[in-house]
Structure formats: C-alpha cells, structure tokens
Amino acid sequence: MLVEQIAVFLENKSGRLAEITAVLADNDINIRALSVADTADFGILRLIVDKVELAKKVLKENGFTVGKTTVIAVEVPDRTGGLATVLAAIRDAGINVEYMYAFVNKTGENAVLIFRFEKMEEAIETLRREGFTILSKEQICAL
C-alpha cells in the first residue's frame, strides 16, 4: 500500500519553514508526518498530509517548488528493536532504503516508520510476508 508524500524544496533561510506551515494551516491541511533534510543552501521538507492535491496547489501558488512521491508506512510496536526487525527483513531481501523517518502514534503503543525504498513493490511484498502491518494514508490520518 503506497502513501503519497509531498516534497517541498526551500531555501535554507530563516522563516521559510514557518511560511510553509502557515500556508498549510490557512488551508485547513493537517500534517501527519514530516522530515526535514538540509544542506548549506537548501532543504527538502517531506510531508504526509491529509489533503495532498490541495497542499501541492496552495504551496505552488505561494511560490514553493513541490513534488509528489510515494512512500510506505510500516507500523511496528514502539519498543526496542522495532526498527531493527524491519531493516533486517529488508536487508535479507536485498532492498536498498533510500530514506526513512518515523513518528509515534497518540497511544504511544506503536511507531510508524515511513520508508522510500529502491524497489517499492518488492518491499511491500517482503514486509507483508514477514508479518509487518502496512498502513494506508487513511489509517495514518486517523492516528
């Protein structure tokens, strides 16, 4: 099950992240997960939001460069070794992790790991075969 994620490219300067979150808030778009990676000159903000197409539209209208990709959301118990078990299954299948980030749901019982893999469909098959729970966008937004 693939989840749509938006990526926003932004200059590495004061206030740009605040501008993005204000645009989303002003348009009633809820951020469910995010990750920021930066270099000296620019950053990449990766977001899972409840209204993907609207988020893309309003951010572009406000001058941001926005892309859309798919990721996989894996739910694991929030305990020591949760991530390690997922990564061991992926390693054993010979699949490369391009990037990942994580968040803990409101109950604190489970963590959600967001992955971009080199071989997305193969990763889904591997994770399901190994008994991992793959979440949909609707499930993420309900957490």
39: CB partners within 8 A, 6+ apart: 12
- Please tell me the predicted confidence (pLDDT) of residue 107: 63
Of the options 3.30.1490.20, 3.30.2130.10, 3.40.50.720, 3.40.640.10, the CATH number for the domain spanning 3-68: 3.30.2130.10
- Please tell me the predicted confidence (pLDDT) of residue 143: 77
Q: pLDDT tens digit string along 70-121?
A: 999 999 988 899 999 999 999 999 999 999 999 887 666 889 999 999 999 9
pTM for this structure?
0.89
% of the chain at pLDDT higher than 70:
98
Which amino acid type is present at position 133?
T
Architecture of the 71-142 domain:
2-Layer Sandwich (3.30)
Cβ pair 38, 12 in contact under 8 A: yes
pLDDT exceeds cutoff 90 at 13 = no
Fold identical between 3-68 and 71-142? no
